[in-house]
Amino acid sequence: MNHLFWRVSPKMEDHHFAWILWYIWKGRNNKVFSNLDIDPRDTLKIAVTEAKIWEDAKVVSVPVVDRPIPSLPIIPGRWCFTDGSWKDKDVFSGQGWYSTLEGFAGLMGARNVRASLPPLHSEIEALIWAMECMRNLHQFRVTFATDYIKTLRENFHSSEIIYVPRTQNKKADGLARGARTQASFVVHMDDEPPTWFTESI
């Protein structure tokens, strides 16, 4: 409550406060209705991350004219490649996506979250996060491509989720694996690779 009444320095941005309250409420509901305990630090990290993603998604990016835009001659179109990365004993699972949409070509996202139980959850979480990001960018005609999940549609006027071989999903796969191996919580959404990303895009 100290943040609400500006008694703490540095002052928190107003939109962070709303997101934190929302995720505290969601955590309370998870405890009451599903008997799930969520670490308060994870709740705070997720709330701040989602607030930042929301703010970033509202900023209109101006495409660089002289920079070559990567093309996929084999599978052209309005694509968002997604992937999740999961290992049995790792603390985090990784999520990555890479966009080839007009006006957002080269935009990518990578983050890690507490590891889910089976790898399928990591793949679905990565896909859902990519869909949320595209929706926040007001991109409602998107073909989502993943090397694991074959069908799931939600919140789009026209969307497809298709299977692609791992060889055609290298960018999203690399981003997800890179995020998974970080020692701490990370999130990245930009048209430039994150500083911790060592593979070539």
User: Is the pLDDT assigned to residue 62 strictly greater than 80?
Assistant: no
Which among 2-6, 55-59, 157-161 has the top mean pLDDT? 55-59
Q: How confident is the model at residue 98 (pLDDT cuts 50, 70, 90)?
A: very high
Tokens found for residue 201: 């895009």
User: Is the pLDDT assigned to residue 32 strictly greater than 90?
Assistant: no
Q: What is the mean pLDDT of residues 117-139?
A: 84
56: alpha, beta or left? (left if phi > 0; alpha if psi -120 to 50):
alpha
Q: Report CA dihedral (112, 197, 118, 35) to the nearest 10 degrees.
A: -10
- Alpha carbon distance 137, 126 (integer Å): 17
Q: Domains in the chain, ordered, with CATH?
A: 14-58 (no CATH), 79-190 (3.30.420.10)
Which among 2-6, 28-32, 93-97, 101-105 has the top mean pLDDT? 93-97
pLDDT at residue 164 in the model: 87
- Alpha carbon distance 146, 162 (integer Å): 6
Q: How confident is the model at residue 96 (pLDDT cuts 50, 70, 90)?
A: very high
26-35, 102-111, 128-137, 177-186 — which is least confidently predicted?
26-35
Per-residue burial over 35-74, b if 16 or more Cβ lie within 10 Å, else e, is: eeebeeeebebbbbbbbbbeebbeeeeeeeeeeeeeeeee
User: Is the pLDDT assigned to residue 34 strictly greater than 80?
Assistant: no
pLDDT at residue 75 in the model: 53
